[in-house]
């Protein structure tokens, strides 16, 4: 249908003075309906979807009316294969809904309005209006199978401040992480028990017989991440253990344990960090028998497990 409504009444009903441009689609009821009764806008059949699809539309809903997008096989009524959460961005949107992953069969997209249950202030039922609908997919014929990729996490900038010294850029940075560590970009100590070469520029190393730790201070993760690091140990006696300490606890949790030599090579590893707040991460070295035994550490960084890119690009 087309036309415009009274702006003042529209603001009262829909909570916005914005209106559709030209023609629009409207569904509603002048009386209270059971909450499951719905109006459905159904697309033409689509042969397939390659990877994630995206539906975008503007909408207006009266109080208590809900909108969602669903996927079904043709002519299956309300037997949906998938439905989004209710749209909550606020009238008039736009609503942007991701249909996750490839669909290798013919399907229909359904925009469903339901919950016409208002009974207050002399008003009953409700209304829903939709305008400017679009659907995007990389392909709708001869589709490849591509898994759904969740949206990337928005990582706080404070994370990068905490791990800014992970690539061992300079000695002052290293000294902020712990004592008994030195910086080098070439070989150190003996050819047999020392470190013969760097990984990428500077690295941190410690020698026996003392116990040494590198400690990264408190930080928070809104989502799980990978802690990546590289280690060089020519000593059979030296042990590297990585610990995390969560907020509101004094107990350390062991994340990684290297009990023996890596040969004369850098070995890069990663461990998962669950979402949450941490008091710190500790790289603890012990068991180096004397000053000729050493362990090197480099390239400590956080990795986004979805994109496998560094959270803090250098």
Average pLDDT, the chain: 85
Please indicate whether residue 267 or residue 137 has the higher confidence score (pLDDT).
Answer: 137
Please tell me the predicted confidence (pLDDT) of residue 12: 61
Please indicate whether residue 72 or residue 24 has the higher confidence score (pLDDT).
Answer: 72
CA dist., res. 293 & res. 90, Å (int)? 63
Please tell me the predicted confidence (pLDDT) of residue 2: 53
Per residue in 141-171, pLDDT (tens digit) is 999 888 777 777 788 888 888 887 777 777 7
DSSP for 273-298 reads: E-SEEEEEEEEEEE---STT-EEEEE
* Both tokens assigned to 121: 């202030």
pLDDT of 7 strictly over 80 = no
Q: Summarize the confidence of residues 4-19 as an average pLDDT.
A: 64
pLDDT of 291 strictly over 70 = yes
Residues of the chain with CATH 2.60.120.200: 157-303
Q: Summarize the confidence of residues 93-103 as an average pLDDT.
A: 89
Q: What is the CATH number of domain 157-303?
A: 2.60.120.200
CA dist., res. 79 & res. 177, Å (int)? 58
Please tell me the predicted confidence (pLDDT) of residue 140: 92
DSSP for 78-93 reads: T--SEEPPPP-S-TT-
Q: Summarize the confidence of residues 57-65 as an average pLDDT.
A: 90
pTM for the whole structure: 0.55
pLDDT of 314 strictly over 60 = no
For 7-136, the fitting CATH number among 3.40.50, 3.30.70, 2.60.120, 2.60.98 is: 2.60.120
CA dist., res. 13 & res. 61, Å (int)? 8
Please indicate whether residue 131 or residue 179 has the higher confidence score (pLDDT).
Answer: 131
Please indicate whether residue 137 or residue 306 has the higher confidence score (pLDDT).
Answer: 137
CA dist., res. 138 & res. 53, Å (int)? 8
Q: Which residues contact 255 (CB under 8 A, 6 or more apart)?
A: 227, 242, 243, 244, 271, 273
Per residue in 15-58, pLDDT (tens digit) is 666 777 778 888 988 899 998 899 999 999 999 999 889 999 98
pLDDT band at 206 (very low <50, low <70, confident <90, very high): confident
């Amino acid at each position: 249908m087309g036309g415009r409504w009274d702006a003042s009444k529209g603001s009262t009903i829909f909570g916005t003075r914005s209106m559709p441009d030209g023609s629009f689609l409207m569904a509603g009821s002048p009386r209270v309906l059971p909450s499951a009764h719905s109006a459905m806008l159904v697309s033409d059949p689509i042969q397939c979807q390659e990877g994630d699809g995206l539906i975008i539309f503007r909408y207006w809903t009266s109080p208590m009316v809900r909108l969602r997008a669903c996927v079904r096989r043709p002519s299956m009524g309300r037997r949906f294969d998938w439905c989004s959460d209710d749209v909550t961005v606020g009238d008039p949107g736009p609503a942007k809904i991701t249909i996750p992953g490839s669909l290798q069969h013919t399907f229909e997209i359904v925009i469903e309005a339901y919950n016409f249950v208002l009974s207050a202030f002399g008003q009953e039922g409700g209304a829903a209006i939709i305008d400017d609908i679009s659907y995007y997919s990389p392909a709708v014929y001869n589709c490849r199978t591509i898994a759904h990729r969740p949206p990337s996490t928005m990582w706080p900038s404070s994370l990068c401040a905490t791990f800014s010294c992970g690539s061992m850029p300079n000695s002052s940075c290293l000294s902020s992480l712990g004592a008994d560590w030195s910086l080098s970009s070439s070989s150190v100590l003996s050819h047999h028990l020392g470190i013969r070469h760097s990984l990428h520029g500077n690295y941190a190393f410690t020698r026996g017989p003392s116990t040494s730790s590198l400690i990264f201070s408190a930080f928070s993760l809104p989502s799980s991440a990978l802690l990546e690091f590289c280690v060089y140990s020519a000593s059979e006696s030296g042990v590297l253990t990585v610990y995390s300490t969560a907020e509101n606890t004094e107990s350390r949790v062991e994340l990684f344990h290297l009990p023996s030599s890596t040969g004369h090579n850098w070995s890069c590893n990663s461990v998962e960090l669950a979402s949450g707040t941490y008091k710190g991460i500790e790289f603890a070295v012990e068991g180096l028998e004397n000053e000729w035994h050493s362990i090197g550490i480099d390239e400590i960084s956080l990795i986004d497990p979805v994109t496998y890119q560094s959270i803090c690009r250098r």
